[in-house]
Homo-oligomer: A and B are copies of this chain.
Amino acid sequence: VIVPDETTTAPRRTRARRGEGPLLRERILDAAERLLIQTGDEDQVSIRAVADEVGVTPPSIYMHFADKRELIFAVCDKHYERFDEFVERAAAGIEDPLASLHARGRAYVQFGLENPEHYRVLFMGKPSATPASYDPQQILTSSAFAHLIEAVHRCADAGVIRGETLMVSISLWAGVHGITSLLISKPNFPWPYREELIDRVLWNLVEGVLAR
Chain A residues with CB under 8 Å of chain B are 41, 120, 123-128, 136-137, 139-140, 163, 166-167, 170-171, 173-179, 181-182, 185-193, 196-197, 200-201, 203-210
Contact A192 B166 (CB under 8 A): yes
Query: When the two chains form the complex, which single residue of B126, B174, B186 contacts A41, counting CB atoms closer than 8 Å?
Result: B126
The residues of B that contact A171 with a CB separation of less than 8 Å are 179, 197, 200-201, 204
Chain B: minimal CB distance from A104 (Å) = 15
Contact B163 A200 (CB under 8 A): yes
| Chain B residues within an 8 Å CB radius of A177 | 178, 181-182
Cross-chain contact of A124 among B41, B124, B187 (Cβ < 8 A): B124
Q: Which residues of B contact A191 (CB under 8 A)?
A: 170
The secondary-structure label for the interface of chain A is helix
Q: How many copies does the complex hold?
A: 2
Extra contacts, 12 of them, besides A174-B182, A205-B208, A207-B210 (Cβ < 8 A), are A120-B126, A123-B185, A124-B185, A125-B185, A136-B188, A137-B189, A167-B192, A167-B196, A167-B197, A171-B204, A206-B208, A208-B208
Q: A171-B200, A204-B171 are in contact. Are A139 and B186 (CB under 8 A)?
A: yes
Q: How far is the CB of A122 from chain B (nearest CB, A)?
A: 9
Distance in Å: Cβ of A112 to nearest Cβ of chain B: 12
Bound: A171/B202 CA distance, A: 9
**Can you show 14 pairs from A to B with CB atoms below 8 A apart?**
A123-B185, A124-B185, A127-B185, A136-B190, A137-B189, A139-B186, A163-B200, A171-B201, A173-B182, A174-B175, A177-B178, A178-B181, A207-B208, A208-B208
Cβ-neighbour of A136 out of B128, B174, B186, B196 (below 8 A): B186
Closest to A176 in B: B178
Q: Is B41's CB under 8 angstroms from A189's CB?
A: no
Instruction: Enumerate chain B residues within 8 angstroms of A193, measured Cβ to Cβ.
Output: 167
Residues on the B chain within 8 Å of A181, using CB: 124, 177-178, 181
